[in-house]
Structure 1
Amino acid sequence: MRAMITMTAVAGLLAGLATAATAGERVTWRTCGDGIQCADVSVPVDWARPNGPRTSIGLAKLPARDQSRKLGPLVANLGGPGPTVQYLPQFKDSFAELTQWFDVIIFDPRGFGASQGVSCPTPAPVPDFAHWPPTERTPYERYAEANRHFAENCTPALGALRDKLNSWQGAHDLDAIRMALGERKLNYYGNSFGTVYAQNYVELFGDKVNRMYLDSVFDHSNRDHRSWAMSGALVAEGNLHRFAKWAEREPTSALHGRDVLATWDRVIAAAEREPIPAPGAEPGRVVTASEIVSLAPSGFEAAWPDFAKALAQADKGDATLFATQRRGAKDPDLSRIALCSDFPYDVSYDGLKRVESDVQARAPRVGYRLVWLMGYHCAGLPKIGVYPPKPIKAKNLPPILVASGTYDDATTPEHAKRVSAQLPGSRYLSAEGGHAQYWGGRNACVRDRVHRYLTSGELPAPGSHCAA
């Protein structure tokens, strides 16, 4: 903790050293296919020792359509933390409108993908979802031990980056990108974890910001894990109620005309008494109450019809559709090491159980599972190179635009509002929908407000809301 406080106290001095360390370096672009240009920016491994060993940050550029009339570069990070440069050909159309005005420049965080990426020799573990959210200590502590071994095995591959993956380092990398682009001020678009770099950037380099748009804010200003998790839990619980209303009224729903919440409660109670057989899956497969909770629908409405079928079938004693339901892709292995350096909350079994107890009082059916999000990532990991959440103290900022989807339980409206309130002159834009309103949701109203802001500085009126 003393090391973290010291870093904060000398931030101004180190920002000056950072400038000296990168002054004179400029980006050299190369063609890398699909109309995309790539480049690398050399940065210190440790910004507290700017003359020490170096690593590189990988960039990918979608050039502005009209280079003679462009407004400059818009630097973007889409979250994770993880690599996105390699996927840009697949989602570049999401940013086509922005190339009317900007060179859109995506970067991979240090240690990932194009940024002199690190590959851990063994994959990060995945918990046994029959016991997740955990109801007993032993499965959780077994998972924590596996996660600890994963991190230890990755140490040689990380080398000097082992304890240098936090967002304090990342914010300095972002400023190095600005300087390498030859820009006096930064235009930035941060999505999800990309907003964590921004929250630290505005404190360290607030006078270097021109325009900044933050979408689906991952709040790095809240030290209290209980309230941090509570906001997500309440949104998740609300999403279950939204699903129930849809399933009751939708004629094509397998639960049409039924009391869906009563059905949910009945299925969970049955699974708690004895796991429900899944005869259509592998022999002997059963499904626990924890597994059903872990699969509960979020704000992603496209999954609701299948979930209604699974719940109706389980109510008849057959959990096959739960047992065979595909889960989302696992985050890149290194992401948990980077994320947990910025969120070193207490993820002991006892600590999370205490938080869960408080959260269950207000989010008893599914919301409490959000308490275990940090446990999933951080259980057993060593607390090294940490830069914990803290209130944002930013000065000399221009107005910043912050947006959030009302049904996003991972980066909630409460997170966005909390961060926005700490950015003088900022404006919060509410939007109906889930995660990544500009990029993933492609909400036309949000896009219009973002374009106006980025091109002219025009903010939405206070209290503005974008419908789905």
Structure 2
Amino acid sequence: MDTSRLLRTTGTVIAAAGLLLSGCTSGGSGSTAASATPGTSGGSASPSPSAESAALRPYYEQKLTWRDCGVAGFQCSTMRAPLDYAKPGSGQDVDIAVARRAATGPGKRLGSLVVNPGGPGGSGIGYLQAYAGIGYPAPVRAQYDMVSFDPRGVDRSDPVECLDGPAMDTYTQVDQTPDDQAERDRLVAAFKEFAAGCQARSQRVLPHVSTVDAARDMDLLRAALGDRKLTYVGASYGTLLGATYADLFPGRVGRLVLDGAMDPSRSSLDLNRDQTAGFETAFTSFAKDCVKQPECPLGGGSPEAVGERLKEFFTKLDAQPVPSGDPARPLGESLATTGVIAALYDKGAWPQLREALGAAMNGDGASLLALADSYYEREPDGKYANLMFANAAVNCLDQPPAFSGPAAVDSALPSFQKASPVFGTGFAWASLNCTYWPVKATGTAKALTAKGAPPIVVVGTTRDPATPYKWAQALAGQLDSGTLLTYDGDGHTAYGQGSDCIDTSINRYLLEGRAPEAGKKC
């Protein structure tokens, strides 16, 4: 259920990397340009009065009070932002949770490096404390304060809430490949129940959790941190957040890395269909590798044959789920599909996926269910993080829905099935989730140019399942100063995923301001 438009990093710890040159190839003959020097603390970091309304000035001039987070080495704070940027100072604010880890030194401090793990709905603070703040390359952490925040509507920042744990358990098991009218009706009813739960529990914040709102919050954060320019690494959906910021505030852009890029000019329908094709590409890579292993649970032969066998297994689960160790949650088709998708984000999870599929095909669904639970951020006690709630809230506000109703899904099914014979049907029906959303979309698909910004590095992986490579190509082309850095490989996002070439290029940009040559490939 809802296995599309969730765009976040894999959760893999980013390995430290030095600045050694590695064997990258460079395409094209573009020259390397230096970006603006990152803002350092001190001086007047907030905009001039002419740039912002008087009502916004108190937000820009606020000072952060730091306290111990309870996690060694990290400090936390809370920032105020107007609930509605059209009515700042009205007394209706949101509290934005912020965390940092101070630069470790030695060397000159370059200011703050704000990171975002994607989603929408991923906790920036959780990502900072578990990965970025301790796993980013040591030279980067030495010279930057590592900073992140939970965007409005996410986790610690006025979170969107929709369903309790038992209701979410039911929701995630609803059949997303309906075979008859009764199953179609149950799927539509599930989407309506989810939307109604969000409205009932989160009515205050639902109209104000768009990507534009979060980007404006990020500019408040830049000022509160004392930085003249924003230095930022955004992964997955975080690339849309970063590109939106650059388009709104091109003069305040420092060094921006957008890794696993989205294409903001694509409609919701096109984004979902593109992502469907992306997961098919990733599955094909997995299938090619699987048949080379001594015990591939999906047999041998071509990727197409492997895909057919996986579809047959899903069909069996649709008719008869297998035990998972949780009597209330046997492994049916929906949860099994989600488990497979979760593992396709990261090539390092392929052995785990083979093992989980083998066990499930032999009647034990526990391992594949665990992969699905990791995707949904479900805890062992049955509680869910608010990831899926915030994800829907942001996506449904950022763009009009992909479909007007079930009949529109029927019309689009052939194109989704062509994009992915394995996942197409489920992804098409999952794209119906915003159709019944209680708040009308405030955004629309459009190109983002950030005219006048210094060089922005856009990173694309050629076989990325969640953010297809063509999206990175498109975003780099739209941005007035975009430069594309390509990783020829598998998995979602590239920085810190094992390529010295990618890591060296990004480290050099963050530390020295030298963007990679246009068309550089690793």
> Which TM-score band (shorter chain)?
0.7 to 0.9
Give the structure 2 partner of residue 3 of structure 1: none
Give the structure 2 partner of residue 107 of structure 1: 149
- More displaced stretch, 323-332 vs 269-278: 269-278
Give the structure 2 partner of residue 54 of structure 1: 93
**Is residue 214 of structure 1 aligned with residue 270 of structure 2?**
no
Q: 2:78 aligns with which of 27, 40, 49?
A: 40
Give the structure 2 partner of residue 4 of structure 1: none
Distance 2:57 2:287 in 1: 58
Counterpart AA for 1:112: V
Matched position secondary structure for 2:77? strand
Alignment of 1:64-463 (within 5 A): 64-66=103-105, 69-82=108-121, 83-86=123-126, 88-91=128-131, 92-95=133-136, 97=138, 98-120=140-162, 122=164, 125=168, 127=171, 129=173, 131-155=175-199, 157-223=201-267, 225=269, 227-254=270-297, 257-258=300-301, 261-262=304-305, 264-265=307-308, 268=311, 296=340, 298=344, 300-305=346-351, 307-308=353-354, 320-321=363-364, 325-326=368-369, 327=372, 328-330=374-376, 331-347=387-403, 348-367=405-424, 369-375=426-432, 377-384=433-440, 386-431=442-487, 432-438=489-495, 441-463=497-519
Distance 1:310 1:73 in 2: 41
Given that 2:236 and 2:467 are in contact with CA atoms closer than 8 Å, whether structure 1 keeps it comes out as yes
Distance 2:89 2:272 in 1: 39
Cα offset, 1:290, TM superposition: 6.9
Counterpart AA for 1:190: G
Cα offset, 1:178, TM superposition: 1.2
Matched position secondary structure for 1:48? coil
What does the per-residue CA deviation read over 1:82-118, in whole Å, with 9 as the maximum and x for residues that have no partner?
3231454322322352212111110110132332445
- 1:171–1:311 Cα change, 3 Å: closer
Distance 2:220 2:474 in 1: 28
- 1:248–1:207 Cα change, 3 Å: same
- 1:239–1:424 Cα change, 3 Å: same
Distance 1:155 1:249 in 2: 49
Distance 1:146 1:174 in 2: 34
Distance 2:346 2:159 in 1: 31
Given that 1:278 and 1:323 are in contact with CA atoms closer than 8 Å, whether structure 2 keeps it comes out as no
Given that 1:231 and 1:414 are in contact with CA atoms closer than 8 Å, whether structure 2 keeps it comes out as no
Cα offset, 1:453, TM superposition: 0.9
Counterpart AA for 1:230: R
Given that 1:299 and 1:407 are in contact with CA atoms closer than 8 Å, whether structure 2 keeps it comes out as no
- More displaced stretch, 424-433 vs 165-174: 424-433
Distance 1:438 1:84 in 2: 17
Identity of aligned residues (%): 27
Give the structure 1 partner of residue 17 of structure 2: none
**Is residue 464 of structure 1 aligned with residue 506 of structure 2?**
no
- 1:408–1:14 Cα change, 3 Å: farther
Give me the TM-score of the superposition, normalised by structure 2.
0.75
- 1:121–1:249 Cα change, 3 Å: closer
Q: 2:66 aligns with which of 25, 29, 41?
A: 29
Distance 1:187 1:313 in 2: 45
Given that 1:14 and 1:47 are in contact with CA atoms closer than 8 Å, whether structure 2 keeps it comes out as no
Counterpart AA for 2:234: G
Matched position secondary structure for 1:446? helix
Matched position secondary structure for 1:335? helix
Given that 2:315 and 2:333 are in contact with CA atoms closer than 8 Å, whether structure 1 keeps it comes out as yes
What does the per-residue CA deviation read over 1:366-417, in whole Å, with 9 as the maximum and x for residues that have no partner?
3554434533x53522233532222224321111001122232212212222
Task: Give 5+ residue unaligned stretches, structure 1.
Answer: 1-12
- 1:262–1:309 Cα change, 3 Å: farther
Cα offset, 1:140, TM superposition: 4.3
Distance 2:254 2:423 in 1: 41
Distance 1:249 1:42 in 2: 54
Distance 1:417 1:129 in 2: 36
What does the per-residue CA deviation read over 1:270-291, in whole Å, with 9 as the maximum and x for residues that have no partner?
87599665666689x9987777
Given that 1:213 and 1:400 are in contact with CA atoms closer than 8 Å, whether structure 2 keeps it comes out as yes
Counterpart AA for 1:359: F
- 1:444–1:141 Cα change, 3 Å: farther
Cα offset, 1:264, TM superposition: 4.1
Task: Give 5+ residue unaligned stretches, structure 2.
Answer: 1-48, 377-386
Distance 1:268 1:99 in 2: 45
Distance 1:162 1:130 in 2: 24
